[in-house]
Chain A
Amino acid sequence: MAIISTAGLARTFLTKNGPVEAVRSIDLTVREGEILGFLGPNGAGKTTTLRMLTTLLAPTGGAATVAGCDLATDAAGVRRACGYVAQSGGVDPQISVREELLTQGRLYRLTRTQAVERAGELARDLDLTGLLDRKCGALSGGQRRRLDIAMALTHRPKVLFLDEPTTGLDPGSRADLWDLVRRLRDEHGTTVFLTTHYLDEADALSDRLVVVDHGVVVAEGTPSALKLRYGGSLDASLQDTFLAITGRSAAPADQTPVAV
């Protein structure tokens, strides 16, 4: 069953230098309980798409539904159904972890008691219990990311949008975050829609990939299907597959950066 579906979703920004078509036409469906990797070069329109699907930005064309709620007519329903972690996160460095978790609960209209209870649960689940009285600004990168995700999970959303969740994390924290994403799906059936530039991450984590370039979907399928079709064989690296899809010529192997 599709929990997200979009048809011709588009966003044009009007700038001083004329209109910029950040997203030209995105058609995609995401199945319930799926981990979807949303890939594309810088400027391909990934973040803009995410901001539209989370009601932060009004589309200038097309339509979409998230968890059965129409993006254009039922923004409140979409907001109840989804959690969003932006690239920058979303906590005030001067405020304590506890206060941020409580405020978030209250923003989702929990009562004070419920908010306290939920903050405790989230802290236990995401290993933040010992950090509750610390200021958000004093957390490490990995701890910050766990807090950002805890905030987004406050209302037990059906869909979780993660925008480059592991950028800047050390390998250990990245591995922990992968485990967390899998656990969310396995234990709660949460659908996870994530963007990343790390192709090993997309390969390891995603059930299915959608590749966008120049504001349109240019390929989609399981990692193996994409490798077979665009990379030439199942043994092709996702790196080469990605470069083949987006039309960037592959660099010599020894110069290829791990992250694209």
Chain B
Amino acid sequence: MLLHDTALVYGRYLRQSLRSRFALLFGVLMPLLYLLFFGPLLTDLPLGAGGSSWQVLVPGLLLQLGLFGASFAGFSIIIEKGHGVVERMRVTPVSRLALLLGRVLRDATVFVFQAVLLVLAAVVMGLRAPVAGVLIGFAFVALLTLSLAALSYALAMRMDTPQSFGPAVNALTMPSMLLSGLMLPMTLGPAWLDALSHLMPFRYLVDAVRDAYVGSYATPHMLYGALVAVGLTALSVTVGTRVFRTA
């Protein structure tokens, strides 16, 4: 039943995404602009990491895509609540977990699609990275999207207006981006900033994807990144399910 319901909910929201093709492409615009206008600034700078500057920047942009996109996923559920769609579904026997999973799997699909577009653009700009590493990067984007979207839906279920939801999410995503070293490796900074950034879970994901992009797969970074990604996903889906059960 869970599988049946999840597939049903997933299909409904995937069709919703496909109806607005513009929004589907628009999401990739911000990281694409960074790629075009920020990426070239880094090519000759010493970034203290192996590989080219693109192998440092693109993993960060991929996770930026997931971070900003998925965090705002909850907006759609606030609108749906206003239309009564959420309650209408919750009076049916549909699995509560499926109402969440169908939505977050849709989000993961959309963001992996956007991530592929971004990597293709990056290859045109000059990125060269092993295919296995690129695929590992997509897996991290998918897990990050799953967990952030689940948390975003959980938060949105508890909020009534987009006016209160937007600032709340912004207040969380901006420091997350800066402290996780998405744009530049945190090792470039002073020791206190580097230490502070280790409190930020996304930092481990970025480090892991950067390792993957230079072909180093059996590293402590990769291990920590994978553990954090899986842990974050488990935690977020648990929180999300609890909220969908009771809200």
Q: How far apart sit A151 and B87, CA to CA, in the bound complex (Å)?
A: 13
Contact between A93 and B93, CB atoms less than 8 A apart: no
**B8 touching A103 by the CB < 8 A rule?**
yes
Q: In the complex, what residues of A have CB within 8 A of residue B94's CB?
A: 107
Q: Is B90 an interface residue (CB 8 A)?
A: yes
Q: Name the CB-closest residue of B to A77.
A: B93
Minimum CB–CB distance for B1 against chain A, Å: 7
> At the interface, yes or no: B195 with Cβ under 8 Å from chain A?
no
> A103-B8, A109-B4 in contact; A92/B91 too (CB < 8 A)?
no
- Interface presence of A55 (CB below 8 A): yes
Minimum distance in angstroms from A42 CB to a CB of chain B: 19
Distance to closest chain A CB from B13 (angstroms): 10
Interfacial chain A residues near B164, Cβ < 8 Å: none
Total number of residue pairs linking A and B with CB closer than 8 Å: 64
Q: Which residues of chain A are within 8 angstroms of B82 by Cβ–Cβ distance? A: 88
Q: Let me know if A38 is at the binding interface, CB within 8 A.
A: no
A61 beta carbon closer than 8 Å to chain B = no
- Pair A88/B84 contact, Cβ less than 8 Å: yes
Tally of contact residues, B, Cβ under 8 A: 22
B16 CB contacts on chain A under 8 angstroms: 92, 94-95
Q: Is B19 among interface residues, defined by CB-CB distance under 8 A?
A: yes
User: Which residues from B are CB-within-8-Å of A79?
Assistant: 91-93
B85 partner residues in chain A, CB cutoff 8 A:
90-92
Q: Please tell me if the beta carbons of B90 and A56 are within 8 angstroms of each other in the complex.
A: yes
CB neighbours of A13 from chain B (8 A)? none
A 70-111 contacts with B by CB, 8 A: 76, 79-80, 82-84, 86-95, 99, 103-104, 106-109
Q: How far is the CA of A151 from the CA of B190 in the complex (A)?
A: 60
**Contact (Cβ within 8 A) A82 B91:** yes
A-contacting residues, B1-24, CB 8 Å: 1, 4-5, 8, 12, 15-16, 19
User: Who on chain A is nearest to B5 by CB?
Assistant: A107
Contacts of B5 in A (CB 8 A): 107
Interface string of B74-85 (1 = CB under 8 A from A): 000000101111
> Which of B5, B16, B84, B87 is most buried by chain A, counting CB atoms within 10 A of its CB?
B84
Question: Known: A92-B85, A93-B83. Is A84-B4 also a contact (CB below 8 A)?
Answer: no
CB distance from A100 to the nearest CB of B (A): 9
Among residues of A, the one whose C-beta sits closest to the C-beta of B1 is A109
| Chain B residue contacts of A80, Cβ below 8 A | 93
B246 touches A58 (CB 8 A): yes
26 contacts between A and B (CB under 8 A): A51-B87, A56-B87, A76-B93, A79-B91, A79-B92, A79-B93, A83-B91, A84-B88, A84-B91, A86-B84, A88-B82, A89-B88, A90-B83, A90-B85, A90-B88, A91-B88, A92-B16, A92-B85, A93-B83, A94-B19, A103-B8, A103-B12, A104-B88, A104-B92, A108-B92, A108-B93
Given contact pairs A86-B87, A107-B8, A107-B94, enumerate 10 new A-B contacts (beta carbons under 8 Å). A55-B90, A87-B84, A88-B82, A89-B84, A90-B84, A91-B83, A91-B88, A92-B83, A103-B8, A151-B88
The 9 closest A-B pairs by CB, nearest first: A90-B88, A88-B84, A90-B84, A107-B92, A84-B91, A86-B84, A107-B94, A79-B93, A54-B91
